Structure formats: structure tokens, C-alpha cells
Structure 1
Amino acid sequence: MTDTSAQTAKMPLGVGAIISSSLSIMFGNFGKVFLLGFAGAFLGFIINFLFLGFDAATGSDPVVNGNPTAFLLGSLVSMVINMAIYGLITALLIQLAYDAKLGRQNSLSTYFKSALPAVLPIAVLSIVIGILSAIGAIALLIGALWVYAVFYVTAPVAVIERGGFGSMGRSENLTKEYRWPIVGLFILVLIVTIVLQLIGIFLVGVIAAVGGQFIAGVGLAMITGLAYALGGIAVALVYARLREIKEGVDVDQIASVFE
């Protein structure tokens, strides 16, 4: 009897192809991608600004200068709201990525209709994954990266399969035997994200001195929003590739749930 798992393990994930496709989708649909990424990043900035202040919101001075208790409560509230925003934007980007892959167009209102049921599970499970990654990081950085790899496609499962709070278990099954390639891809996306954020923080300091805090926040959101979008597109393509390898499901079948 043929060992199916041994066969599928020989098929490469194709990290280079996924990164290339992610960039192609991002720049080929720049208007929508930029709008969604910017919206998520800017809303996140506003929330952090309201609860934590300008310096903490931009990452230029994360040190607690005031009441530590108030800062902690503000951080918790900010995190919960930001996770909800992240859940919505990620769900929208996942749908956009599949439509772009298939060369078809849909309105943002159509994306919103499909995305809303997945927002709460993605937000809650993202917090859980973050906590598990933090626990893994206590031992080694690689522990945190491994946890992220295990649950990397949780968001697409929540959106495409309506997996709800069981999406983490489904992600664990899909990523099995492909976690090290996912770690590599995640690191590449993370490097791009860090570079863009460093550029954003530098520009914030320059713009804030000339144009004020609000304009600086807009500038930061414009830059980091692209990194936000790249991550969402990449995770959608990884999910599609894993479904193709393990279950023989192509992008057309995956995207049919939005019709």
C-alpha cells in the first residue's frame, strides 16, 4: 500500500513562487491592496494613539512614562480592538488574493459580506496563537516561529472553510510536514515588514516635526499598510498551496465559496 503522506511530503511548498506571486498580486492590484492595508494600519494607529499615546503608537518610544496600570489596561484594550481590525482586513485580503489569482474582480462590499463571519474567530485565535508563540519564545526564538508555522493558515481556514474556533486544529493538520518551509517564508515576510516599519518610524520623526502628528500617522500607515497586505496575501497563497498538495483542491474550487 502506498504511503500517501510520504508522497505529499516530497512535493515542495514553493516558497519562492509564493513570495513572487504575493508581490505580483500586491502590485497588480495595488489600488485595492493599498486601500485595505492602509485602512487596517491607520485604524490601528488611531486606536493605539487614543489608548497609548503618539510615541507608543508609532513605536518610536515604547517606554512607559506614566501610570503603568493605565498603560497596561490601554494596551489590552488596544490589542483586542486591533485584533478585530486585523481579522477583518486579513479576511478581505484573502478573498482579494484568490480573485486576483483567478483574474476576476469583485467589489469590496462583496468581500465584506463574506468576511464578517470570520472576524471574531480570527481575532480571538490570533490572540491565542500570540500567547502560545510567546510561551515558545521563552525557550527559544525558534519555538515562537514554529508555533506560528503550525497555525499559519488559521485565518484562511476561518474565512474559506468557516472553521470558526476549530480553525487552529485544521491549520495544524494542513501545515504538518511543511512547517520549516513556512518558517522560512514567514521570516522573509517578517524581514520585509521590519524594513518597512523602520522606514516608517524614521519618516514619522521627520514628518512629525514638520507636518504634525496626524500627518505623521498617515505616513506611517501608508508604509506599514503594504507590509500588512503582503502578509495577508502570502498566507492565502500558502493555504491554497497546501490544499493543492494534500487534497488536490485548486484555487478555483477554493474561491468558489465566495460566489
Structure 2
Amino acid sequence: MATTTLERPDKFRIGRVFSNSFAVIGRNPGLLVGLAALFSALPALVLNFWNYSNFANINIANPESIAVADPSAILRNSLISMAFGLIYFVLALLFQSSLVRATIEDLNGKRPAIGDCIQIAVRCILPTIGIGLVIFLTMILAMLMMFVAGMLIPIFGALIAFIVLLVPGIMLLLGVSVSVPVLIQERLGVFSSMSRSRALTKGSRWSLFGLLLILFLAAIAIQMAFALVFGFTFAITGSLSTVGLVVGAIGSALVSTVVSTVISVAIAVSYVELRQVKEGTSVDELAEIFS
């Protein structure tokens, strides 16, 4: 595989990121399927079977059956669902980290190895979780501010806070959007990686916004289409058959895995693109850290 070192681009271009992202996916189908199965598809399948099995026990034609449900069973199921969700969150971070490693190795003209990608992802899991928690807590803080504003100024307070926080919030998220690739590739700490991400994305955030908006809308369209088909079937029958449960769980897992794969690879490619735009860094130089 030939190295893909390029001359320094003049600006961040969405089309080039898409082209390189799908090129990476096309050159490594076996690797991506293996990583996706391990970190995304199988965990999502387990989670979906659990959630759908709970739905299957609900008879929407008889609402009274919901009202008389055992509260202890509901609490137990909720705790199990939260545990599954937490495990899925950690595995999703491992998936993204392993894809970052695979993407940069591929762009460097090498053939990524699944063992190497997993090793790097596991080695960096704690700071990766740290970045995820910082972003999550920041979003929670923004929602609390909207709630407080709504309490202080009834009716319009939450709306005003949402409008005031919208653009700064989007810019903040865009600024830290390549924090995980920075962490994986440059071996910085949590806050140093986020600071480095803000520096790299400065001047390119609206282009990044366009890229992520396209990916987000495409993901929403695909997931909504599947949800509508599945929900329509559930509404007609009033319950889920075993076949419906299996098809729903597998279909949802595949959809979420494909979406997360494309987004993770695109973010990793965006990191490489940003370094080339800001610093003229070749992909060969990016890989020297791991040599």
C-alpha cells in the first residue's frame, strides 16, 4: 500500500474528508468488521435484545397491564439497562479509539493490525473516558442553566437560555471534536488533548460543523427509517413476535454500528486534515510517534 503523504492543503475541505474516509473504509473492510463486531455490533445486539424483550412483554392493547406491573421488577430492569448502557458507552469509546489508530495507520500507507488497534485503545481508555465525561458534564451543566432560567423566567426563560447557549455550545463541541484522536495520536492528557483540539479546529469549525451536520442528518434519517418500520410493525401487532424481536435487535445493531463507524473514521480523518492544514504535518510524521 503506497503512502498517502500529501502536499499541505490550503483549507479544511469537507469533500476531501469524505473521500479519504470512505477510502479508508474501502481498503480495510475486514479490520473494520472485526472491530465493529467486537466493540459495537455484539454489545449493541445484547443491549437491543434486552430492551426489545422488555417491550415485547408490554401489551399496548391493554394499558392496565402496565399500571399493575411489579415496581421492583421495573426498578431491576432499569438498573440492568443502565449497567448495559454504561458498558456500551465504554465499548463505544474503545471502538472510536481503535478506529483512530487504524485510520492513521492506513493513511500512512500501512496495513492496520486489529491487535495493535485494540492495544492502543485499551491503553488509552481511562483518559478517553475522562474526555467523554467532561463533555457529558458540560452538556448537563448547560441543561441545568436552561432549567434554572426557566424557573426564574417562566415560559420564556428556558427558550432565552437555549438561544444564548446554542452557538457557544456548538462552537465548544466543535472545538473538542478531535480530542480523542489527539489523545490517541499525541499521548496528551485529558485537558491537554481538549486544549490541543481547540487549537487545531480554530478557523475550521464552521467547515467541521458542515461535515458533522451532514453525518448527523444522514444518521438520523437512517435510524428514523428503521425506527418507523419497526414501530409500525409493533403498533399493528400490539406485541413483538420472536422473529420480530430478532430482526429488530439485529437491524438496530447494524444501523448503529455502520453510523458510528463512518462518524469515527471521519473524525479521525478530520484530525489528520486539520494537522495538515494548520501545521503542514505529513501523515508520515503523524505515525512516527508510534514507531
TM-score of the two chains, using structure 2 as the length reference: 0.71
**Residue pair 2:49, 2:249 contacting (<8 A) in 1 also:** no
Give matches, 1:27-46, under 5 Å. 27-39=26-38, 40-46=40-46
Give matches, 1:1-259, under 5 Å. 11-39=10-38, 40-47=40-47, 50=50, 53-54=51-52, 73=79, 76-136=82-142, 138=146, 139-140=162-163, 141-166=166-191, 167-202=193-228, 204=230, 209=241, 211-259=243-291
**Residue pair 1:204, 1:219 contacting (<8 A) in 2 also:** no
Q: Once the 2 structures are TM-superposed, how far is the Cα of residue 159 of structure 1 from its aligned partner?
A: 0.7
CA distance in structure 1 between the partners assigned to 2:262 and 2:217 by the alignment: 12
**Residue pair 2:93, 2:125 contacting (<8 A) in 1 also:** yes
- Give deviations 1:85-123, integer Å, cap 9, x for gaps: 111101111111122223321320111122212122222
Closer, same or farther: CA 162–232 of 1 in aligned 2, 3 Å:
same
CA distance in structure 2 between the partners assigned to 1:83 and 1:178 by the alignment: 28
Which has the larger displacement, 147-156 or 31-40? 31-40
**Residue pair 2:35, 2:114 contacting (<8 A) in 1 also:** no
- Give deviations 1:7-45, integer Å, cap 9, x for gaps: x9x942111210221122223322322332344143134
CA distance in structure 2 between the partners assigned to 1:103 and 1:183 by the alignment: 28
CA distance in structure 2 between the partners assigned to 1:189 and 1:55 by the alignment: 30
Closer, same or farther: CA 243–181 of 1 in aligned 2, 3 Å:
same
Closer, same or farther: CA 145–48 of 1 in aligned 2, 3 Å:
farther
Q: Once the 2 structures are TM-superposed, how far is the Cα of residue 74 of structure 1 from its aligned partner?
A: 5.1
Q: Once the 2 structures are TM-superposed, how far is the Cα of residue 248 of structure 1 from its aligned partner?
A: 2.5
What secondary structure does 2:44 align onto? helix
Which has the larger displacement, 115-124 or 26-35? 26-35
Closer, same or farther: CA 71–187 of 1 in aligned 2, 3 Å:
farther
Closer, same or farther: CA 118–203 of 1 in aligned 2, 3 Å:
farther
CA distance in structure 1 between the partners assigned to 2:206 and 2:139 by the alignment: 16
CA distance in structure 2 between the partners assigned to 1:136 and 1:188 by the alignment: 24
Which has the larger displacement, 78-87 or 174-183? 78-87
What secondary structure does 2:187 align onto? coil
Q: Once the 2 structures are TM-superposed, how far is the Cα of residue 131 of structure 1 from its aligned partner?
A: 3.2
Q: Once the 2 structures are TM-superposed, how far is the Cα of residue 180 of structure 1 from its aligned partner?
A: 1.5
Could you tell me which runs of 5 or more consecutive residues in structure 1 were left unpaired when the two chains were aligned: 1-7, 58-63
What secondary structure does 1:229 align onto? helix
One-letter identity of the residue aligned with 2:124:
A
CA distance in structure 2 between the partners assigned to 1:104 and 1:69 by the alignment: 50
Q: Which residue of the partner structure matches residue 60 of structure 1?
A: none
What secondary structure does 2:12 align onto? coil
**Residue pair 1:83, 1:124 contacting (<8 A) in 2 also:** no
What secondary structure does 2:177 align onto? coil
Q: CA RMSD in A?
A: 3.2
- Give deviations 1:182-228, integer Å, cap 9, x for gaps: 11111111112212222333455569646242443222222221111
**Residue pair 2:48, 2:249 contacting (<8 A) in 1 also:** no
Closer, same or farther: CA 94–169 of 1 in aligned 2, 3 Å:
same
**Residue pair 2:53, 2:245 contacting (<8 A) in 1 also:** no
**Residue pair 1:98, 1:255 contacting (<8 A) in 2 also:** yes
TM-score of the two chains, using structure 1 as the length reference: 0.79
Which has the larger displacement, 215-224 or 86-95? 215-224
